[in-house]
Each structure stands twice: as C-alpha cells, then as structure tokens.
C-alpha cells in the first residue's frame, strides 16, 4: 500500500502508467499511419490493441500494489484507488472490443483511420483520468477530453447527411452541457472556496444552504445529464447514434455513457453527499422519466440502431434509480446504492457492447440497419443470431444472463430504502422491464421466425467474430460468477465513498 502524496508537484509515473501507455500508442499511430498506404493503414489498429493491453497489464499491477490503499499525484487531485482501477479496467476492456469492432469496418471505410484511432484512444485517456480525478478542475478537463474527440468521430462519415446532422447536434448539445456544468462548478467553488471533492463535502456539511449553491448543484447534475443522455437531455442521442459509424455508436453508448456516470458518482456521492436530500429526488424523477420514455420510444423503432439508442436511454434511467434513494445520513444505504450502479455499469458494458458488435457484423452486408434486415438471421448465421439473442435477452433482464443481476441490485436498493418514493422507483423498474421485453423479443422473433430476405450468411471476420463470441460468453459467465462480481464492486464502493 502506498500513502497518498500531499506534494502538488509529485508525479507518480507508475500511477499514471495506464494513461501513458495509451498516449504512447496514440502518438505511435499518428506517426506510423503517415508512412502507410492503402490497405496497410489498417495495421495501426494493432498498435492501439498493444497499447490498450499494456494499459490493462499496468492496471492489474496497480490493483495488486495498492491493496486497500491508494497512490496519488498532483496534491491528491489524481488518485489511483480501487474505484478508479475498476473503471479503468472497464474502460480498457471496452476499448479492446471497440478496436476489434473497428478493424474491418474502418479498413473497408479506408479513410481517416489514423485520425479515428488517435481520437478514440484520446477519449479513453480522458475517461481514465476522470475516474482518478478528485478535483473539480481535473474532472471537468478530463470530461471534455472524453467529449471533444466524440464530436469528431460522430461526423467521420462526412458524405452522409445523417452523420453531419447527428454530429452537429452532439456538438451543440455537448458545448451547452459543458457551459452549464462549468457554471455550476464555478459557483460551487465560489461558495465553498475549494475544488477538492472531499473538501467541498466538508464545506457543504458545515456551511449555510444558500439558494445559489443549491442551484449550482442542480446545474452540475444537468451538465452530467447531457453526458448520460437522461431525459429531458436525451434528444441528441438517437440521431447521433444513427448517423455515426457503428463502432463509434458502440463507443458512445457504452464507454462515453459509463464515463458520464463515473463523474456523476463522484460529484454526488462524494462532493455533494451532504446535500443528498436536494439532488436525490431530482435524479429519482429523472430515472422514472428516462426509463419510461426510452422504452416507449424504442417500441416504435424500425431501425435497429435507433432502437438500441432508445434502449440505451432507458438503461440510463435504470442506473439513475440508486441515485434517487441516496440520503445524507444512511452510509450503508449509500454504499449499496453506489455498488448497484457499479454492477449495472459493468453488466451494461458487456451486453450492450455485444449487441453493437453483432449489429456491426450485419451492417457490413446490409447497411440500411433496419430490423427487417435481421429476418431469418437464425437460418443464415445461427451463431451470430444466437449471440445477438443472448445480448438482447440480457438487456431485457432474462436469466441466466448477467442483465438480470443488474436489474436485481437496482430493484433491491430501491426497496431497501424503505420509503414510498423508493417503492415507486422499484415499481417503475419492474414495469419498464416488462415493456422493454416487447421490443427485444420482437427482434429475436424476427431473427428466428421470419423468412430471410437474403440467403448469404453473415461473415463478420475473425476480429469481429472474436468480439461477438467473447462478449456472449462473458454475458453468461458474469451471471454465474456474480459473487466475485459483487465483491470487486463492493471493495471499490468502500474505497470510493470512504
């Protein structure tokens, strides 16, 4: 175990090793891609894979090193603890699968490969920095490092008007949310006199509840609401997801959303914990609106990417439920709520990444992305159809798949709160789970019961096939290994909220 560093000039290179590995890979891609031509440009993907694997190795080494302690740099503005390492492992695992999804897609696309991989890795660096941030300034800078590359990646299909529209909406809403978030943070600093998350909590506990301060807290929550595509800040997501290249859509719906939730966890359960009675009801209401509207709109979709986009919005609502039952006094309930969000994020990352991996495979031969394109997929490519069925059923919460545990823990913490509002949230989870099954099962029925419109099997390629198969196995294995799953989340929760 290594004690936290108090000297603001301290730079712990080992603590920064995962981020540095990805940065080095991005810089190498930028240089190597200039010397490659034609189909050889696709080999820069391998450099990204090596960099991400190296970062994962450093993350595991840091986990073994810190034990129940932490490492820190820059006067504790950057902290590596179990919470940060759990999210870094999650982000890097998602990065691996996004790179596998991208290999064949962008080699056929043949343009902007170097730029795409640099932007993608740069965004993942921002995610890793953000979960280690224990200061508002660093948190904001890291969050923008996540967002800005996403604006560009969403518009890489410059010849597609939908891509242009989606990227523009994403950019405008992203800039607006950043302004709102920064304004809220600046007011919080002005009232508390510090940007340190723990220091803000101390100041809020002993200070006066000024109306301006309460408004600033809500501004910060609104800023993160855009990032996680919570209702009513969700309207950019369906168009952006539909217009983006499919691997970019997978990145936005999984990694970018998880990063938004990581930041929201830090500011609510750490910095704004004494004001839980202010922000918890707001987030609880947003949870009900988000899961309900997301599921109801998903029922109407005929485009599979838009269907998954609204599904992603609905899942943001499920993940907001534990925020809605948080309190300023019950540490045990807050710890369980925190853990429920972590478990849901990990499960969601696996099953949603898998769904987009399968969609990427089908899109190669049928680029229209319509649900009708999946008719008879079970006859043409039974393995791919079985994997996609697993992902969709898991998203719906069907056992024995990991999605049922995600919903179970969210439901349990809402009931554990023992309040009328908690029971309303629990009922909303159950009702929305039932509604969601209609559109998930509709796609499954189309794959297995409808007549195929084409006879050729889908050929995903080795990299994409490995991603689909690996994620399908994980979706089942994580259900069976729920004990280890919850233990890791529990350790991370205690460290993060302690």
Instruction: Return the closest-CA partner of residue 304 out of 397, 436, 432, 442.
Output: 442
pLDDT of residue 183: 92
Question: Considering the domain boundaries, does residue 363 fall inside one?
Answer: yes
Question: Considering the domain boundaries, does residue 11 fall inside one?
Answer: no
Number of separate domains in the chain: 1
pLDDT of residue 1: 41
3-class SS at 78?
strand
Q: Which residues contact 83 (CB under 8 A, 6 or more apart)?
A: 131, 492, 493, 495, 496
d(CA 225, CA 241): 17
According to DSSP, residue 67 is labeled T
Q: Using one digit for the tens of pLDDT, what is the confidence trace for 408-440?
A: 999 999 999 888 999 999 999 999 999 999 999
> Which stretches within 267-397 are classed as H helix?
276-298, 304-324, 331-365, 377-380, 382-396
According to DSSP, residue 498 is labeled -
Q: Among all chains, which residue has been given the structure tokens 């810089």?
A: 27
d(CA 443, CA 359): 12
According to DSSP, residue 135 is labeled B
Instruction: Return the closest-CA partner of residue 327 out of 317, 318, 338.
Output: 338
According to DSSP, residue 458 is labeled P
d(CA 300, CA 442): 11
d(CA 442, CA 434): 13
Q: What is the DSSP string of 225-252?
A: HHHTT-TTS-TTHHHHHHHS-HHHHHII
Q: Using one digit for the tens of pLDDT, what is the confidence trace for 281-310?
A: 999 999 999 999 999 999 988 889 899 999
According to DSSP, residue 189 is labeled H
Instruction: Return the closest-CA partner of residue 353 out of 124, 130, 91.
Output: 91
Residue 365 buriedness (CB in 10 A; 0-12 / 13-18 / 19+): middle
Question: 488-491 long-range CB contacts below 8 Å, 24 or more apart?
Answer: 488/86, 489/86, 489/339, 489/342, 489/343, 489/346, 490/339, 491/82
d(CA 310, CA 295): 7
pLDDT of residue 296: 94
Residue 159 buriedness (CB in 10 A; 0-12 / 13-18 / 19+): exposed
d(CA 487, CA 13): 28
pLDDT of residue 451: 83
According to DSSP, residue 302 is labeled -
Reported as half-sphere exposure (CB side, CA atoms, 13 A), residue 464 has a value of 25
d(CA 368, CA 160): 13
pLDDT of residue 497: 43
What is the DSSP pairing of strand 71-73 with strand 78-80? antiparallel
pLDDT of residue 493: 63
pLDDT of residue 110: 56
pLDDT of residue 5: 47
Instruction: Return the closest-CA partner of residue 44 out of 100, 94, 128, 113.
Output: 113
Calculate the dihedral angle through the C-alpha atoms of 29, 30, 34, 36, rounding to the nearest 10 degrees. Answer: 10
pLDDT of residue 492: 67
Question: Considering the domain boundaries, does residue 6 fall inside one?
Answer: no
For the record, the structure tokens of 286 come out as 């947003």
d(CA 344, CA 323): 13
pLDDT of residue 491: 65
- Do residues 132 and 83 touch, judged by C-beta distance below 8 A? no
Sign of CA dihedral 441, 444, 446, 449: negative
Instruction: Return the closest-CA partner of residue 225 out of 323, 346, 121.
Output: 323
User: Which domain covers residue 100, as residue numbers?
Assistant: 17-497
Which residues of the chain fall below pLDDT 70? 1-11, 68, 107-111, 485, 488-498
CA 6 vs CA 70, 75, 193, 202, 420: distances in Å: 12, 5, 19, 18, 44
Q: Answer whether 0.95 is exceeded by the pTM.
A: no
pLDDT of residue 392: 94
Question: Considering the domain boundaries, does residue 471 fall inside one?
Answer: yes
CB burial string 316-333: b at 16+ within 10 A, e below: bbbbbbbbbbbebebeeb
């Amino acid at each position: 175990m290594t004690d936290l560093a108090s000297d603001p000039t301290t730079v712990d290179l080992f603590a920064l090793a995962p981020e540095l590995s990805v940065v080095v890979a991005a810089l190498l891609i930028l240089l190597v891609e200039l010397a490659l031509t034609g189909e050889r440009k696709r080999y820069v993907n391998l450099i990204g894979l090596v960099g991400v694997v190296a970062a994962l190795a450093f993350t595991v080494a840091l986990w073994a090193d810190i034990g129940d302690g932490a490492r820190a740099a820059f006067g504790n503005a950057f902290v590596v603890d179990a919470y940060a390492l759990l999210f870094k492992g999650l982000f890097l695992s998602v990065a691996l699968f996004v790179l596998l999804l991208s290999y064949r897609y962008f080699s056929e696309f043949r343009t902007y490969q170097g730029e795409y991989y640099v932007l993608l890795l740069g965004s993942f660096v921002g995610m890793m920095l953000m979960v280690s941030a224990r200061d508002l300034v660093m948190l904001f800078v890291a969050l923008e490092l996540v967002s800005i590359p996403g604006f560009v990646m969403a518009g890489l299909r410059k010849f597609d008007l939908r891509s242009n529209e989606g990227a523009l909406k994403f950019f405008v809403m992203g800039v607006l949310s950043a302004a709102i978030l920064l304004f809220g943070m600046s007011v919080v600093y002005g009232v508390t006199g510090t940007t340190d998350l723990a220091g803000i909590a101390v100041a809020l506990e002993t200070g006066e509840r000024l109306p301006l301060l309460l408004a600033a807290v809500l501004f910060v929550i609104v800023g993160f609401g855009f990032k996680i595509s919570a209702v009513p800040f969700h309207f950019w997501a369906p168009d952006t997801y539909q217009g983006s290249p499919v691997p970019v859509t997978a990145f936005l719906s999984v990694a970018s959303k998880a990063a938004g939730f990581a930041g929201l966890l830090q500011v609510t359960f750490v910095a704004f914990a004494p004001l839980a009675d202010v922000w918890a009801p707001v987030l609880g209401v947003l949870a009900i609106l988000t899961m309900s509207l997301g599921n109801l709109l998903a029922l109407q979709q005929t485009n599979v990417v838009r269907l998954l986009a609204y599904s992603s919005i609905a899942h943001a609502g499920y993940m907001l439920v534990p925020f809605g039952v948080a309190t300023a006094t019950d540490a045990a309930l807050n710890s369980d709520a925190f853990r429920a969000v972590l478990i849901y994020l990990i499960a969601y990352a696996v099953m949603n990444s898998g769904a987009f991996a399968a969609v990427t495979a089908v899109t190669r031969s049928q680029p229209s992305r319509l649900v009708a394109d999946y008719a008879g997929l079970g006859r043409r490519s039974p393995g791919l159809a079985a994997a996609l069925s697993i992902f969709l059923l898991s998203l719906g919460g069907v056992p024995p798949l990991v999605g049922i545990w995600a919903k179970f823990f969210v439901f349990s913490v809402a009931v554990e709160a023992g309040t009328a509002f908690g029971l309303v949230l629990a009922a909303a989870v159950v009702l929305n789970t039932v509604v969601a099954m209609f559109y998930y099962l509709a796609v499954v029925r189309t794959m297995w019961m409808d007549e195929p419109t084409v006879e050729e099997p889908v050929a995903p390629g080795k990299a994409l096939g490995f991603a689909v198969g690996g994620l399908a196995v994980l979706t089942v294995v994580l259900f069976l290994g729920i004990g280890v799953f919850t233990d890791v989340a529990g350790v991370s929760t205690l460290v993060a909220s302690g």
